Chain A
């Protein structure tokens, strides 16, 4: 992957001060882009590890707990039921906090990329914007870390009755993100009043000397993915959501009835039905959220392509890998209902492809010579 030995596209008026071999000083925009992509790649990696090593095992533990609960009901042992549910709550918390950590890490990454885009319209000093970017990335790391630790730290040493120290860390990090967003909104308000850009806008979408394929493919592909996700969500909400909610209570009712009648085979069948229903809900929601998030990611990455300093061939390659993975993951997550773990494995490979594409682009950003930063410094110095 050779670095491209040319100045930053469409920035002829700003002479780049740093060579492509060096790592230019981080501006707020580059901090957001670099930190955002790293957060997204980290969140995807965590999600893939979770899906392969924890998700299915956790579902099996939930099923075992429900079977144990039905046996305890059949035996008329209320104390054993309480014990089982205490264990089940633990299993569900284990799963829930890991899903939340995965989602929040990726979403913080998206927001970081978004903030990179709107930096020219944030009328604050260069140093303030850089400090805000560092705070935002720190919050984006600490929020999922806090959520992840909730299951392991619990209420140990906490002065609160329901919130542990890990929750306090997560909530504080969330508060930090909100604070940064509010200051950015204030900076945007200042821009609307002054009408002066605080730094150059991102380069023209399609400069004549630039290969426009990666940008167009990411933008068009991203919009189509988001639209498909919306349509799938509307279909799910309209046809399956209420039915699934009704079925859950009905299955639990039948499960309790069978256990009370000491019909253990019927109870086991109901537990299996409950597991299938939970699986159906999970894959539909996962497919809906992943296809939209990958669409949004593709659109965001279309804007940062000028920062990806790779050859034309490699830029195109990473775009294809990323878009391919963005389609494979949600489609095969849906197919898990029909083809089971085989489809799940292919979906994981799709997630890996998105990650590889992201890391490839991240390498390109590391190789970026800093042309826009020079321009930004000039603008910042003039302020």
Chain B
């Protein structure tokens, strides 16, 4: 088994297991409380408005927005880690058919692994620093890395069918 395949299969399995463990701990210790807080703050916003306490209503609505911002990103990161890991394992099985030198294949595989690990991480870190430009940039660069690596893989498959 070549180094690029090992990187994709082993890295993919590790990333899938990590994504699942992250999702499990989130479901066990955070998710229910977050959903309660999200629903509670929205309800509180309307209740305060009914009592004509507009300041409290506005504050509760802002808390709802922030909680939902975090929740969406936590769930997205969990699913993207596992989804990208599965793609890595699938590609790992057939990576010999990507018609590049092993050096280039290793670079593509490393880009996939790095992008797949960093992209969801950048999303999660945004929940600690809302709207931080550095983290947005990290998410853009890492997702770009995954897209570029997949495009290179598709090109490698196409080269294989024309040259084989």
A and B part of one assembly: yes
Which residues on A are within 8 Å of B, measured CB to CB?
69, 72-73, 75-78, 80-82, 84-86, 88-89, 92, 103, 107, 110-111, 114, 117-118, 121, 162-163, 167, 170-171, 174-175, 177-178, 181-182, 184-185, 188, 192, 202, 205, 216, 219-220, 223-224, 226-227, 230-231, 233-234, 237-238, 245, 248-249, 252-253, 256, 259-260, 289, 292-293, 296, 299-300, 303
Instruction: Please state if B65 and A248 are interface contacts (CB–CB under 8 Å).
Output: yes
- Complex interface: chain A residues within 8 A of B1 (CB): 121
Contact among A69, A226, A231, A233 for B46, CB-based, below 8 A? A69
Interface string of B130-164 (1 = CB under 8 A from A): 00000000011001101100110110010001000
- Measured CA separation A177–B153 after assembly (Å): 29
- Complex interface: chain B residues within 8 A of A252 (CB): 42, 45, 61, 64
Q: Do A227 and B6 contact each other (CB < 8 Å), given the known contacts A256-B45, A260-B52?
A: no
Instruction: Please state if A85 and B46 are interface contacts (CB–CB under 8 Å).
Output: yes
- Measured CA separation A68–B6 after assembly (Å): 57
Instruction: Please state if A78 and B10 are interface contacts (CB–CB under 8 Å).
Output: no
Q: Which residue of A lies closest to B45 (CB)?
A: A256
Instruction: Please state if A292 and B50 are interface contacts (CB–CB under 8 Å).
Output: no
- Complex interface: chain A residues within 8 A of B139 (CB): 237
Question: In whole Å, how far is B43's beta carbon from the nearest beta carbon of chain A?
Answer: 4
CB-CB nearest 5 A-B residue pairs: A85-B43, A162-B32, A249-B65, A78-B50, A73-B50
Q: Do A117 and B13 contact each other (CB < 8 Å), given the known contacts A77-B50, A227-B154, A230-B146?
A: no
From residue 21 to 37 of chain B, which have CB atoms closer than 8 A to chain A? 21, 23-24, 27-28, 32-33, 36
Contact among B50, B82, B140, B146 for A81, CB-based, below 8 A? B50
Instruction: Please state if B86 and A81 are interface contacts (CB–CB under 8 Å).
Output: no
Instruction: Please state if B86 and A114 are interface contacts (CB–CB under 8 Å).
Output: yes
- Complex interface: chain B residues within 8 A of A253 (CB): 58, 61
Q: Which residue of A lies closest to B154 (CB)?
A: A223
- Apart from the given pairs A76-B52, A223-B154, A237-B139, 11 other A-B contacts in the complex at a CB distance below 8 Å: A78-B50, A85-B46, A114-B89, A118-B13, A121-B1, A167-B27, A175-B24, A224-B154, A249-B65, A260-B52, A292-B83
B107 within 8 A of A: no
Can you spell out 9 A-B residue pairs with CB atoms less than 8 angstroms apart?
A73-B50, A76-B50, A85-B42, A118-B9, A185-B13, A188-B9, A219-B157, A223-B150, A234-B144
